[in-house]
Amino acid sequence: MRQARADGETTAAVWQEGMNDGRCVHICLDGNFDIEKPTAQQIYALRDLLKRLKTEHGIKSTNFKYHSDFANKTCPGKNLQEDRDFITRLAWERESTPEPNLKKQIYDHLNELTKLIHKIDL
């Protein structure tokens, strides 16, 4: 993995929406994903990069876009178009919600602990 431009540097990409003025970070994976899939190493590197950028710049998942959102392009490629949600989830994973039964068990335990704490003579 290498960085071609500094974060916030003016680019030639996405000029269609005026987004080449340094307000966005552009990411490119090496390959033609119209005819191939990214390697596992590329996916892991992309995940780590997205997580770092999300944290450093406060990027929200709703602001994560693809080149094809702005131009008549296939980017990120036909083999990744169907995986758009997967790619977004790499960095913007939703925290899982406990199963309803587990939630009830936790709630019951907390209530029991609260009762015990009230019984303690301090």
pLDDT digits (tens, 9 = 90+) for 78-110: 877 767 777 888 888 753 444 556 667 777 767
pTM for this one? 0.64
Q: Do 33 and 73 form a contact (C-beta atoms < 8 A)?
A: no
What's the mean pLDDT in 57-63? 84
CA distance 50 to 44: 10
Give me the pLDDT at residue 64, please. Answer: 83
Give me the pLDDT at residue 16, please. Answer: 63
Query: What angle (nearest 5°) sits at the alpha carbon of residue 17, between those of residues 14 and 23?
Result: 70
